[in-house]
Amino acid sequence: MHSQILFDHGRAARIGLPEAVFCQGKSFAAICELLERFGPKSDHSVLFTRLTEDVFAKVPKALTEGYDYDALSRTAFVAPLAPKKTERVAIVSAGTADAFVAHETARTLAYLGIACQLFEDCGVAGLWRLTEKLEAINACGCVVVVAGLDAALASVLGGLTSKPIFAVPTSVGYGMACEGQTALASMLVSCAPGVAVLNIDNGYGAACAAARVVLQLAAKTQ
């Protein structure tokens, strides 16, 4: 018997994006129940986020069978949604230390059926790493920037592309990086106009923001 975990199956019809399961903070029993409920036999495909490798490893194999799990992004789903005919989303990260957020963004978009392209290790301390990829980035319809430390990548890229930009500060960095607070403040006071900023480490939210843009662009051209 399922407990009273209420799920919003009507969300996709209202906003074009389905509800996901945020696993952090949930009891192990609740996670097991939800994995069972939305497994291969379910009529609903659901994305699980913040599902850590140690927790997933403890779940009985009978419940995890059929799931596509990725430890780096801490995401799992049984099957992605049907592919959408949209422009690609560029995901540009400053360093490999930001990969957990960049890959959460990529996995969320993959689950939603939206094509994306990862451009990793583009930190502005070596500006050539970004400029040599700029043409490919501009070929996408929307950009997600992922950066920790001083998060200068968001401002620099914001001055180099006309594409909609969603910036995600990460909790990466020593001391005064303050677990992403400095990156967040830097992005919020960016001198590049029109850069929208997500919460710290929120790759899932950035993917959903980008999805709203490319889905609307696709709807306008149909």
pLDDT digits (tens, 9 = 90+) for 135-171: 999 999 999 999 999 999 999 999 999 999 999 999 9
Three-state DSSP class for residue 119: strand
Rg of the chain over all Cα atoms, to the nearest angstrom = 18
- Model pLDDT, residue 198: 97
Which CA distances in Å does 142 have to 70, 105, 115, 161? Answer: 24, 13, 11, 10
Q: How confident is the model at residue 13 (pLDDT cuts 50, 70, 90)?
A: low
Across the chain, what does the average pLDDT equal? Answer: 91
pLDDT confidence tier of residue 206, bands split at 50, 70 and 90: very high
Q: How confident is the model at residue 3 (pLDDT cuts 50, 70, 90)?
A: low
- The confidence score (pLDDT) of residue 106 equals 97
In the chain, % of residues over pLDDT 90: 76
- Whether the pLDDT of residue 177 is over 80: the answer is yes
